[in-house]
Amino acid sequence: MASQRSFWVWLHRWAGLFMAGFLIIVGTTGSLLAFYPELERLINPQFIPKQIQANKLDITALAELAQQRVPYGRVDYVTLEGVYGAAQISMSARPGETGQANELGFDQLFLDPYTGEELGRRQFGAISEGMINFMPFVYELHDQLALGTFGVWVLGICALIWTIDCFVGFYLTLPQRRRQSPKSSPDQNSWWQRWQPAWKIRWRSSSYKLNFDLHRASGLWLWLILLTFAWSSVYMNLWDTVYTWTTRAVMEYKAPWTELPKRDIPLAETEIGWRQAQRIGEQLMAEQAEKQDFTIEQVVALGLNRMNGTYVYTVRSSKDIQDKRGRTNVFFDANSGELKLALLPSGQYSGNTVTTWLAALHMANVFGLPYRIFVCVLGLVIVMLSVTGIIIWMKKRHAHFIRRKMLT
């Protein structure tokens, strides 16, 4: 039993050391991202529409205005209301004219949703552009260490280790089974009484004991939400591999990357334009609302996925659980208009419902302001757990070094 526990202690120690640097980064950036919209508006007030009017331009009008302003680019996604209240247009370079997408110089165009006036452009996450990209850069650090695909895989592996280590850490807080010798008196304390110290912090003890208690007790009290964030991080980074395989093994789960095959060559031009795509999206969504008994509350976005050749029309509906925006989607062929997939955020497939909750909890997009404050603080707690874990390791390593030195 002792050797088995020693193995789990060893595993927890080295898993923690491997993750520490990454968790410090994602914990710190996550605290900021809990208030992403507010910080974006504070840093970039130029993206906020100057005057709120009665009627907004529709998706087609915004897409056409963006195309007129950037004739050498192409519109990929139109979000009617981003974090600023402005319409956000995702664009890429048109092949054959300017080459690769990064030669466009930007990938986001912001338009006033009431007048169509241009409010600004930026290459999302490019910190070289200055404070205009501070929060997008924080997001890129949190999501992929600002290293692209390589960073996604690194954080995905880290999230997977973190998920497993949550169970290892919990196990190590449990009281050890005591061996009773024939001459010793039986232990009068119950199992729960022996576990209680693990939940407490000795505030007036030595610095080492305080550091140890902060690490152990904080991890226990917040264990369930830490596990939730660890597994939702697997979803965020390994969504099309580990997360999908695991979820589909135990629940019914459908996603665009499992249901819509990729094309050999990305779709350059479509037979259906934005105006017709908007009409088809509205019609298909209305049919799904009647068929699956939900109410459409607000149009959110229309996008074109050139990799699988489909448009996706997104609304906020009565099936949504998030505080803002929406995840009720219909996907249809960009050439024929045929419905390919309809995905509701809840009540349709059990795996999708769980995934929606994981995403909403991770992004602090549920339960209002109190939960956002909690997530902000939780990010700092994750940093604290990483730092205290390093200190515990350093203290034990130093003690081990002193013992070896005394023996020699």
3-state secondary structure 156-194: HHHHHHHHHHHHHHHHHHCCCCCCCCCCCCCCCCCHHHH
Of the listed ranges 25-29, 231-235, 390-394, the least confidently predicted one is 390-394
Burial 363-398 (b: 16+ CB within 10 A, else e): bbbbeeeebbebbbebbebbbbbbbbbbbbeeeeee
Whole-angstrom distance, CA of residue 110 vs CA of residue 213: 49
Residues sharing a CB contact under 8 Å with residue 116, sequence separation 6 or more, in sequence order: 57, 61, 62, 65
Amino acid 176: pLDDT: 83
Whole-prediction pTM: 0.91
Domain ranges of the chain: 36-138, 254-348
Q: What is the mean pLDDT of residues 148-158?
A: 96
pLDDT band at 124 (very low <50, low <70, confident <90, very high): very high
Of the listed ranges 13-22, 204-213, 217-226, 270-279, the least confidently predicted one is 204-213
Whole-angstrom distance, CA of residue 395 vs CA of residue 65: 62
Q: Provide the pairing of β-strand 108-111 with 73-79.
A: unpaired
pLDDT higher than threshold 90 for residue 349 = yes
pLDDT band at 43 (very low <50, low <70, confident <90, very high): very high
254-348: what fold? Answer: Nuclear Transport Factor 2; Chain: A, (3.10.450)
pLDDT band at 97 (very low <50, low <70, confident <90, very high): very low
Q: What's the whole-number average pLDDT of the chain?
A: 92
